[in-house]
Amino acid sequence: MSAIDRAAPGPDVAGRSPSVSDEVSDDEAARRWRLVLGRYAADELQVGQQDQGLERSLRYLYDREYTARGHRVGRGPGGSGEGGGRSGGGAGLGGSQPHGVDVTALGWLNEAGSLFPRETFERMQVDAVSRYGLTELLQDETALETLEPSRELAVAMLQVRGALNEQAASGLRRIIKRVVDDIVRRLRPRFTTAVNGRIDRSRRSMHRVARNFDWKRTLRANLGRVDAEGRMTVQDVRFSARSKRTLTWDVILLVDQSGSMAPSLLYSAVCAGILSGLPGINVQLYLFDTSVVDMSHLAADPVEVLMTAQLGGGTDIARAVRHAEQQVRNPSRTVVALVSDFYEGGSVSNLLTTVRRMASSGVTMLGLAALDEAAEPVYDQGTARHLAECGMEVAALTPERFAEWLGEVLS
């Protein structure tokens, strides 16, 4: 995102949701353009009193875009920092702030959090860390509590992890843990329900819990209790039993850790951690770029996996799949899930040969296409099509849908 876009990352800067049918007055249009253009419109447009805080917060963060391009941020009239980008004698953002204002990263964080709607504030946090290097936010205890954890923030932090000092890395771990814990709370019930055994409708269950509720049999059992107005009095509530697996399955997760895979890596680590805690499943986790790293010993700890992963580098999917093939002990009870964008830097022909051989042996294979930060699939469709022709089921699945698919396979 360029600095010119700084005032409109979703809802407008005042927190309202824009609508194509909105009629904007000339004064309101001028106000918005002043916030978008910042100090570069100071000679023509004034900042209203109600927008001083918005302007200050936007300027503190997004003026870094101009200085990164070599612009000098000078002092305007009265030292307010409203001068042109190349004029004036001042250089540096701190000196251009009004006197008496907290210009630390924490001060900016507190002010921005109170002025902007949550969605906008979360995006500004991501820009602060990933684009403008405000990693001091990770070194302040108060700032760590103020930061709004989100998947986007976690992904941005993972991508800059290699440039962090020890104290900042410790703060990053705390943020990652909060994000991971939130995702686990949401996903674990889905995996537990889907994977811990299929519903057996031939047997009634004594475990009267929501996930075992059998609404079809309940309706049939109470058809005789419908009054003249069509209302049913339910007295006999039916629940179905679940058939437990008696044999262990091997689930081998191959996760591409090239630079574009950070969002998928986050969810893959969480899924591996949840699966590791379920009975009857042996999880093997491998991260790969041009080499393959065995993370199976850390699979139960998603945070440690994410803190250890090395995002970036090339991609050799064929090498990773060959490595997985060597780990297969019982093909008919093995699932190999490849998480990748399928942009192969190695030999596509070797990749397809290995996939065809594994599928023929009875290994269940799933190719999970990478999802971007908006949960949209981003992958090489040509390679994906060839993989599907060789026996790999290829799909762009959310983690919830992956849980359902895995439950169907393991049943």
Q: Are residues 334 and 218 in the same domain?
A: no
| In-domain check, residue 118 | no
Q: What is the pLDDT of residue 124?
A: 78
Q: Give 241's strand partners.
A: 200
| In-domain check, residue 176 | no
Q: Are residues 266 and 363 in the same domain?
A: yes
| In-domain check, residue 352 | yes
Q: Per-residue DSSP letters for 91-145?
A: -SSGGGSPTTS--SHHHHHHHHHHHS-HHHHHHHHHHHHHTT--GGGGG-HHHHH
Q: What is the pLDDT of residue 326?
A: 97
Q: Are residues 394 and 258 in the same domain?
A: yes
Instruction: For residues 32 and 401, give the distance between their C-alpha atoms in angstroms, rounded to a whole number.
Output: 41
Q: Are residues 290 and 370 in the same domain?
A: yes
Instruction: For residues 173 and 194, give the distance between their C-alpha atoms in angstroms, rounded to a whole number.
Output: 30
Q: What is the pLDDT of residue 68?
A: 63
Q: What is the pLDDT of residue 23?
A: 67
Q: Per-residue DSSP letters for 203-266?
A: EE-S---GGGB-HHHHHHHTGGGB-TTS-B------BEEEEPP-S-EEEEEEEE-SGGGHHHHH
Instruction: For residues 122 and 337, give the distance between their C-alpha atoms in angstroms, rounded to a whole number.
Output: 32
Instruction: Write down which residue in 68, 103, 138 finishes a domain.
Output: 103
From the list 361, 277, 379, the residue with the least C-alpha distance to 324 is 361
Instruction: Write down which residue in 83, 103, 123 finishes a domain.
Output: 103
**Helix 348-361 vs helix 381-389: crossing angle, to nearest 10:** 30
Contact between 275 and 251 under an 8 Å Cβ cutoff? The reply is yes
Q: Are residues 212 and 86 in the same domain?
A: no
Q: What is the pLDDT of residue 206?
A: 43
Q: Are residues 205 and 73 in the same domain?
A: no
Q: Count up the domains in the chain and report the number.
A: 3
Instruction: Give the burial string for 200-215 (b: 16+ CB within 10 Å, else e).
Output: eeeeebeeeeeebebe
Q: Are residues 207 and 336 in the same domain?
A: no
Sign of the Cα torsion 270, 276, 281, 285 reads positive
Instruction: Write down which residue in 244, 277, 309 finishes a domain.
Output: 244
Q: Are residues 274 and 328 in the same domain?
A: yes
| In-domain check, residue 184 | no
Q: Are residues 257 and 342 in the same domain?
A: yes
Q: What is the pLDDT of residue 118?
A: 72
Q: What is the pLDDT of residue 66?
A: 66
Q: Are residues 399 and 254 in the same domain?
A: yes
Q: Give 250's strand partners.
A: 282, 334
Instruction: For residues 257 and 240, give the distance between their C-alpha atoms in angstroms, rounded to a whole number.
Output: 41
From the list 347, 343, 327, the residue with the least C-alpha distance to 335 is 327
| In-domain check, residue 189 | no
Q: What is the pLDDT of residue 89?
A: 39
Q: Is 138 left (phi over 0), alpha (psi -120 to 50) or beta?
A: alpha
Domain CATH code at residue 339:
3.40.50.410
Torsion of CA 111, 113, 114, 117, to 10 degrees: 140
Q: Are residues 217 and 291 in the same domain?
A: no
Sign of the Cα torsion 97, 103, 107, 112 reads positive
Q: Give 329's strand partners.
A: none
Residue 294 makes CB contacts below 8 A (sequence gap 6+) with 284, 285, 286
Q: What is the pLDDT of residue 208?
A: 54
Residue 197: its H or E element: none
- The residue assigned the tokens 């269950």 is 205
Q: Report the length, in residues, of the chain.
A: 411
Q: What is the pLDDT of residue 105?
A: 66
Instruction: For residues 253 and 383, give the distance between their C-alpha atoms in angstroms, rounded to a whole number.
Output: 19
| In-domain check, residue 59 | yes
Q: What is the pLDDT of residue 387?
A: 96
Is residue 342 classed as helix, strand or coil in its secondary structure?
coil
| In-domain check, residue 137 | no
User: Burial level of 298, CB count in 10 A (0-12/13-18/19+)?
Assistant: buried
Q: Are residues 270 and 403 in the same domain?
A: yes
| In-domain check, residue 123 | no
Backbone angles phi, psi at 100, to 5 degrees: 85, 0
Q: Which residues of the chain have pLDDT under 70?
A: 1-24, 38-40, 42-43, 66-107, 109-110, 130-133, 135, 162-163, 197-212, 239-247, 372-375, 411
Domain span at 209: 201-222+237-244
